[in-house]
């Protein structure tokens, strides 16, 4: 990594699950480096969704290193997710034709409700419970029962991990959404539902959606709930695979509250 930058640069890991991100510093200069980042980073940068992409370099082994401008700022707090600029940036992402075109060009097929159910069924088979899990069984029955009602033709680029830690606000007030490794083409209700259920009191949903540019209706409410149920099962299975019993029980209790 140091060979790319020249003399005088100090490079250290930036943390994160993949271990492929780095911080490079030389004097007052600071860069965010990443190995094999999202192929659509240039589009995200051009639209101001992520910090500015400065350069891209390919290594002899085929790896691609990207450098982005370092943002002097902070992660959003959970309570700040209700603010209007969060809704507006998510709407900008969901309405980006350029971003959607890029995803389609690299062969990204829409994540439909039927595909989600199939993926969950396959994961459940790999993670057989010693005892029948009635909560998961009822949740899967719910997903199957409403699959056709939540299916639609309008798909957008969804981030799929709208945790407040992925929202960065600069000292100048510019807002960015980072960590696009799990993004896919899907129903915008996937992102919206996860955000509203996680951060916004239901009494404030209509206000938040107004900032996004949508009106609440029964179809949107159903789709959001459907995707939250499916994602909750997915997260629960992720913890089961890692034998994290306490987290599994926490997510099972939440799943139970969703399908009462």
Question: How far is the C-alpha of 179 from the C-alpha of 202, rounded, in Å?
Answer: 27
CB 71 within 8 A of CB 170: yes
119 is catalytic: no
The rounded Cα 93 to chain-centroid distance in angstroms is: 12
The catalytic residue among 101, 148, 161, 187 is 161
Quick check: helix, strand or coil at residue 19? coil
| Nearest Cα to Cα of residue 141 among 226, 249, 52 | 226
Polymer length of the chain: 260
Compute the C-alpha angle 61/67/68, nearest 5°: 155
Question: How far is the C-alpha of 188 from the C-alpha of 164, rounded, in Å?
Answer: 18
The rounded Cα 136 to chain-centroid distance in angstroms is: 23
Residues that are catalytic: 161
């Amino acid at each position: 990594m140091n060979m790319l930058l020249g003399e005088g640069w100090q490079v250290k890991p930036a943390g994160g699950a993949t271990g492929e991100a780095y911080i490079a510093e030389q004097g007052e200069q600071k860069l965010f480096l990443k190995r094999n980042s999202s192929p659509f980073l240039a589009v995200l940068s051009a639209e101001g969704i992520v910090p500015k992409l400065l350069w891209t370099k390919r290594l002899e082994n085929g790896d691609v290193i990207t450098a982005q401008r370092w943002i002097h700022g902070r992660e959003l707090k959970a309570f700040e997710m209700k603010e209007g600029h969060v809704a507006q940036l998510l709407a900008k992402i969901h309405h980006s034709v350029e971003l959607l075109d890029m995803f389609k060009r690299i062969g990204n097929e829409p994540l439909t409700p039927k595909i989600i159910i199939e993926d969950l069924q396959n994961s459940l088979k790999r993670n057989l419970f010693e005892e029948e899990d009635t909560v998961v069984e009822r949740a899967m029955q719910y997903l199957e029962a409403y699959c056709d009602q939540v299916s639609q033709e309008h798909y957008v680029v969804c981030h799929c991990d709208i945790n407040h830690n992925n929202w960065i606000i600069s000292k100048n007030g510019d807002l960015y959404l980072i960590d696009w490794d799990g993004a896919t083409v899907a129903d915008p209700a996937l992102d919206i539902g996860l955000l509203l259920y996680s951060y916004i009191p239901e009494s404030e949903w209509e206000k938040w959606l107004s900032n996004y540019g949508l009106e609440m209706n029964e179809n949107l409410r159903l789709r959001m709930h459907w995707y939250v149920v499916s994602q909750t099962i997915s997260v629960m299975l992720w913890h089961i695979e890692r034998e994290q019993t306490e987290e599994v029980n926490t997510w099972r209790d939440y799943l139970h509250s969703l399908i009462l």
